């Protein structure tokens, strides 16, 4: 997907890229490739692949989840790595208030330079484990309208990391690929335990290569028990499975 095809494909979703936004994505690509030579950010570095499998892919949830288009919604992106999906969403919907949590300081340093270069405001970068960021005494706990995660962990683990950060009435949005249905079946106990309920599983395919994508939306219906998330490393070692 070339930058021009990126713009034209988004038009089909009623998203009109401005000249400034096109420039921001171009800068994003350049910095991603530059930093990737010294910090392992992505295995995808060809321009057309970055535009399809990082930029466009990050925007797919906004086609179906209206909260991502809302003005001034607070969004927390857990384990965002090189900023996906939150920063492409922020470029398109600049009133989003974005918080990115990542456990690797080198990635945070990249994001600091990227956010400055893109001229983005209302972006907070946090170097922390998600388990600590959402712990019972954390001010961030249950404070976000939307929490997103992409390519971080399987869904039972992600649910424990993310749902405690979502305010009651908010949404946890997980970006998944072809094994989403299998992961979702395994995650039902974790979702219920942490106060959530499956709202939707939007299935689509990426343009050009037809790779399957799922946007899983979990509504936060009640407060998460204070003992979750458990201490760092435990959710991945002992996921909440029935």
- Binding residue per annotation — 93? no
CA torsion sign for 88, 168, 138, 224 is negative
Contacts of 4 (CB under 8 A, 6+ apart): none
Rounded to 5 degrees, what angle do the CA atoms 184, 52, 2 make? 170
- The SS3 assignment for 13 reads coil
Which DSSP letter does residue 212 get? E
- Binding residue per annotation — 70? no
- Binding residue per annotation — 84? yes
CA torsion sign for 183, 142, 88, 114 is negative
- Binding residue per annotation — 134? no
**Which residue(s) pair with 205 in the sheet?**
212
- Binding residue per annotation — 131? yes
What are the binding residues? 79, 84, 130-131, 150
What are the binding residues for S-adenosyl-L-methionine? 79, 84, 130-131, 150
């Amino acid at each position: 997907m070339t930058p021009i095809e990126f713009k034209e494909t988004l038009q089909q979703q009623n998203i009109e890229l401005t000249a400034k936004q096109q420039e921001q994505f171009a800068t994003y690509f350049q910095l991603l490739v530059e930093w990737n030579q010294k910090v392992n950010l992505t295995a995808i570095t060809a321009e057309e692949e970055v535009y399809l499998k990082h930029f466009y892919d990050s925007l797919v949830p906004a086609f179906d989840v209206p909260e991502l288009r809302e003005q001034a919604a607070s969004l927390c992106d857990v384990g965002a790595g090189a900023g996906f999906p939150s920063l492409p969403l922020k470029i398109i919907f600049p009133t989003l208030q974005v918080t990115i949590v990542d456990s690797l300081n080198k990635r945070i340093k990249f994001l600091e330079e990227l956010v400055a270069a893109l001229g983005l405001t209302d972006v907070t970068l946090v170097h922390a484990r998600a388990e600590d960021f959402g712990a019972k005494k954390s001010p961030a706990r249950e404070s976000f309208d939307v929490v997103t995660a992409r390519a971080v962990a399987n869904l039972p683990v992600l649910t424990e990391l993310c749902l405690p950060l979502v305010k009651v009435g908010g949404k946890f949005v997980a970006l998944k690929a072809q094994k989403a249905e299998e992961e979702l079946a395994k995650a039902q106990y974790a979702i219920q335990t942490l106060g959530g309920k499956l709202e939707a599983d939007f299935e689509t395919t990426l343009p050009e290569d037809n790779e399957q994508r799922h946007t899983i939306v979990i509504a936060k219906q009640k407060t998460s028990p204070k003992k979750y998330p458990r201490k760092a490393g435990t959710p991945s070692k002992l996921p909440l499975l029935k």
